[in-house]
């Protein structure tokens, strides 16, 4: 019985991209920030909107608007480099001593692959995250939410071109966001 070629291509691509996301999470968990920055395309956009309590039927109200309103993060590669630079000074007190952090990435699915599953150049991924962060003696944060990523194949290396992060919180219940999603 012949196996559908498309299913195999999808299977391989999903496994490949899951591994990419796990390797990315490893870098962040191990504070290898500069290597993490190398996983970002030059035209990266990294956006985390505010979430509102909205009325049924008005779903468009839920997230703050990307090009209009405030957000938690609305970054490019330059500003993410600055954030890393700040942590690397060793005197960014909000992240010094460093947090202990673990990123759990799950529910990873390929939504779209262009131009094809067999030879993808850009892929849209959907996933969920759970970030456990512990600082100093007893500061503990658990943050969960959804991610929409666009990954791009640059010379055989997958890189992140776009990340939309939907944190499942309204009023932020953590003191500071000194880490990456």
* Residue 138 DSSP one-character state: T
Interface map 27-46 toward another protein (x if CB under 8 A): ------------------x-
160 phi, psi to nearest 5 deg: -90, 120
Residues 16 and 51: their CA atoms lie apart, in Å, by 32
Listed in order, strand segments (DSSP E) in 18-138 are: 40-49, 71-75, 100-114, 122-135
173 scored as a contact of another protein (CB under 8 A): yes
What's the CA gap between 77 and 159, in Å, rounded? Answer: 12
Question: Could you say whether residue 174 binds another protein (CB under 8 A)?
Answer: yes
Residue 176 within binding range of another protein, rule CB under 8 A: yes
Please tell me whether residue 148 binds another protein under the rule CB under 8 A. no
- We find the least distance from the C-beta atom of residue 73 to another protein, in angstroms, to be 6
Query: Residue numbers of the site for another protein (CB under 8 A)?
Result: 45, 48, 50, 52-55, 58, 61, 64-65, 67-76, 78-79, 82-83, 85-86, 89, 91-95, 170-178
């Amino acid at each position: 019985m012949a196996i559908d070629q498309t299913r195999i291509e999808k299977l391989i691509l999903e496994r490949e991209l899951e591994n990419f996301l796990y390797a990315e999470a490893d870098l962040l968990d191990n504070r290898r920030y500069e290597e993490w920055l190398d996983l970002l395309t030059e035209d990266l956009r990294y956006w985390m909107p505010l979430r509102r309590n909205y009325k049924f039927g008005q779903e468009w109200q839920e997230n703050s608007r990307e090009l209009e309103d405030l957000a938690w993060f609305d970054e490019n590669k330059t500003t993410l480099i600055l954030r890393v630079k700040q942590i690397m000074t060793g005197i960014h007190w909000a992240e010094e001593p460093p947090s202990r952090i673990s990123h759990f990435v799950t529910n990873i699915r390929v939504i779209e692959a262009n131009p094809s599953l067999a030879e993808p150049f850009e892929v849209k991924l959907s996933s969920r995250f759970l970030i456990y962060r512990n600082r100093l003696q007893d500061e503990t944060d658990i943050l969960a939410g959804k991610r929409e990523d666009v990954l791009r194949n640059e010379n055989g290396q997958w890189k992140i071109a776009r990340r939309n992060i939907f944190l499942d919180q309204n009023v932020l219940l953590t003191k500071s966001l000194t880490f990456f999603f």
